[in-house]
Amino acid sequence: MNNASFGHKWLPIGLLAPQLVITLVFFIWPAAQALFQSLQMEDAFGLSTEFVGMENFVSLFMDRLYFESMFSTLVFSFSVAIIAMASALFLAVLAQRVIRGGGIYKTFLIWPYAVAPVIAGVLWLFLLNPSIGVLAHLLAALGINWNPLLNASDAMWMVVLAATWKQISYNFLFFLAGMQAVNKSLIEAAAIDGAGPWRRFWTIVFPLLSPTSFFLLVVNLVYAFFDTFGVIHAMTQGGPGTSTSILVYKVYSDGFIGLNLGASAAQSVVLMALVGVLTVIQFKYVEKRVAY
């Protein structure tokens, strides 16, 4: 690779400055603040502060509920990622085959992405609320005892559904773009050789989509970990019991409702580390080893 060189040292720094400042102010500074807070115990108003070292982390990892929350987060995130990707892929395949009015279908399928998570939560809550929801009444008519207020797995399905619905659009876009990038001649060659649409998809298109799929897997997991707070907040507030209290919701309820900044900061540091790991996996493993 050629090393391009600048005459002045200040020009490249100046050009990078806006991005550096944004990163510093919106990412590095809050992250450092969280690290700092996680080592302290403080009252709500910040009138007395005590340095406690790792104590916030110790009590976090001594807490049975924290591990339960971690487990719910994993169940939730993988369910969202897998269901959202599978349905998006299915829709993308169908949308690509549509000849007339394809643009309209595609627009409609992308639409839910513009809906804020809280709104998505409220929408689905209206549909699935056991006493007023249309879908809940339908389920009751089918003889299914649907009660997300008390049944933990019903509640989990409900939040997974709302969070998934919102994410399908994003995945759909990427899969659609990925499929359009597949070289037509490969498919035509396979068709001439007598491979049916089913076979063509699984042996040609699907493997060629693997970089997109792995990218989406990481993005979806990160989405389920962090951006779904609004869905949980609007639909279950972590209940019943603590069954849908995922990690990011716990950060919010301990920090912003409970005003326990130390414990909340310690939890965000743990989350930060988790995302770090996911990102490393994406860069080191996924980006290099996806086979074509």
Partner 1 sequence: MSKQVMLAASAVAVLMSCTVNAATEIQWWHAMGGSLGDKVNEIAEGYNATQDQFVVKPVFKGSYPETMTGAIAAFRAKQQPHIVQVYEVGTATMMSADKAIYPVHQLMNDSKEKFDPTAFLPSVTGYYTANSGEMLSMPFNSSTPVLYYNKSMFEKAGLSDADAPKTWNDLELVATKLLASGAQCGFTTGYQSWVQLENFAARHNVAFASNDNGFGGLDTELLVNNKAFVDHISKLEQWSKTGAFKYGGRASDAASLFYSGECAMYMNSSASYAGIKENMPNTEFGVSELPYWPSVIEQPQNSIIGGASLWVLQGHPKQDYEGVAEFFSYLSSAKVQADWHQFTGYLPITQDAFELTESQNFYQENPGTRIAIEQMTAVTPTKNSKGLRLGNFVQIRDVVDEELEQVWSGKQSAQQALDAVTARSNELLKNFERVNSKS
Q: Which residues bind partner 1 (CB under 8 A)?
A: 41-48, 50, 129, 131-132, 149-152, 237-242, 253-254, 256-260
Of residues 242, 262, 276, the one with CA closest to residue 60: 262
- We find the least distance from the C-beta atom of residue 155 to partner 1, in angstroms, to be 10
* Number of Cβ within a 10 Å radius of residue 182: 15
| Contact of 232 with 166, CB cutoff 8 Å | no
Which is closer to partner 1, CB of 169 or CB of 264? 264
Which is closer to partner 1, CB of 151 or CB of 210? 151
* C-alpha to C-alpha distance for 35 and 27, rounded to whole angstroms: 12
- We find the least distance from the C-beta atom of residue 43 to partner 1, in angstroms, to be 4
| Contact of 226 with 267, CB cutoff 8 Å | no
- We find the least distance from the C-beta atom of residue 50 to partner 1, in angstroms, to be 7
40 forms beta bridges with 51
Helix pair angle (102-110, 152-180), 10° resolution? 140
Which is closer to partner 1, CB of 145 or CB of 185? 145
- We find the least distance from the C-beta atom of residue 80 to partner 1, in angstroms, to be 23
- We find the least distance from the C-beta atom of residue 36 to partner 1, in angstroms, to be 14
Q: Terminal CA-to-CA distance of the chain, rounded, Å?
A: 25
- We find the least distance from the C-beta atom of residue 55 to partner 1, in angstroms, to be 10
Which is closer to partner 1, CB of 50 or CB of 188? 50
Which is closer to partner 1, CB of 149 or CB of 191? 149
Q: What is the residue type of 175?
A: F
Which is closer to partner 1, CB of 123 or CB of 152? 152
Of all helices (H) and strands (E), which one includes residue 41? Answer: strand 40-42
| Contact of 141 with 182, CB cutoff 8 Å | no
